[in-house]
Amino acid sequence: MRQPMIAGNWKMFKTVHEAVVFVKELRPLVADVTGVEIVVAPPFTAIHAVAEAARNTNIGVSAQSLHWEREGAFTGEVSAGMVREAGAEYVILGHSERRTLFGDTDLTVNRRLMAALAAELTPIVCVGETLEQREGGQTLAVLDQQLKQSLDGVTGAQLAAIVVAYEPVWAIGTGRNATPAQAGEAHTHLRGRLRQWFGADAAEQCRLLYGGSVKPGNIATLIAEADVDGALVGGASLDVASFAEIVRGALGR
Ligand code: PGA
């Protein structure tokens, strides 16, 4: 069985101090939770402090991106080994904000993915269509292309440890989440492709998260879909009570 995952993407929010306060408040709220993998993704600056605050708890720490080279003259970039050493065990890759604002492409997502795997980070690879693409009937074709190119060169054994997040761009930060049926359709399609490309065993183990306006009030119906294995949460992950409620919403799946 796939263990559900709830990951909070903090984007460019929270100072080191705010991030540590959050984790200290979250700890007792989720201390009794077993069976849900809980992850928070602070900005690079807070990774180390958050990892310290989360040590010996059931809360894992993720980076929000990384560069594919090990080191070098890449001003402003951070490598997989660096975030790993700082305490991250996961990394979000190819988030739509990275794609639209900072030039990430399927090709560079793939490079980052390879670097993440080499550093033994669990990648959370984001794919998703824009509103225009959905209205043009291109959703599944867009997902196919993003998935195929992002995962180029990955083995079945590696896929089992990769997390894919379906995040329709029109649902991110808009308050307009995909309906459970829309999410379910996309996820079932993605798992079918993974089965086709990587074999049934690997595809069954790969976790598929939904992201886009997930809130305490909609997590239960989204995660009730057979191929929705959890959520990547933006805005609602910034408030500790709401994030803890979303984690609890994934219990008993
Ligand atoms: P949102 O963001 O939950 O605020 O819609 C999701 C994301 O960007 O991962």
Cα–Cα distance, 214 to 14 (Å, whole number): 20
Model pLDDT for residues 173-215, shown as the tens digit of each residue:
999 999 999 999 999 999 999 999 999 999 999 999 999 999 9
Tell me which fold the domain 5-252 belongs to. TIM Barrel (3.20.20)
From the CA of 28, how far away is ligand 1's center (Å)? 25
Rounded Cα gap, residues 232 and 185, in angstroms: 17
Ligand 1 center to 147 CA (angstroms): 19
What is the CA 41 to chain-centroid distance, rounded? 9
Mean pLDDT over 59-77 rounds to 98
Average predicted confidence (pLDDT) for the chain:
97
Ranges of each domain in the chain: 5-252
CA 55 to chain centre: 21
Cβ atoms of 223 and 4 closer than 8 Å: yes
Q: Is 8 in the pocket of ligand 1 (CB under 6 A)?
A: no
Query: What's residue 122's pLDDT?
Result: 98
State pLDDT tens for residues 109-140.
Answer: 999 999 999 999 999 999 999 999 999 999 99
Query: pTM of the entire structure?
Result: 0.98
Residues labelled as active-site residues: 95, 167
212 Cβ below 6 A of ligand 1: yes
Query: What number does the ligand 1 atom closest to the CA of 177 have?
Result: 5
Ligand 1 pocket, 211 CB below 6 A?
Answer: yes
Going by alpha carbons, the residue nearest to atom 3 of ligand 1 is 234
| pLDDT per residue as tens digits for the range 208-224 | 999 999 999 999 999 99
Residue 253 has pLDDT above 90, yes or no: no
Nearest CA to ligand 1 atom 9: 234
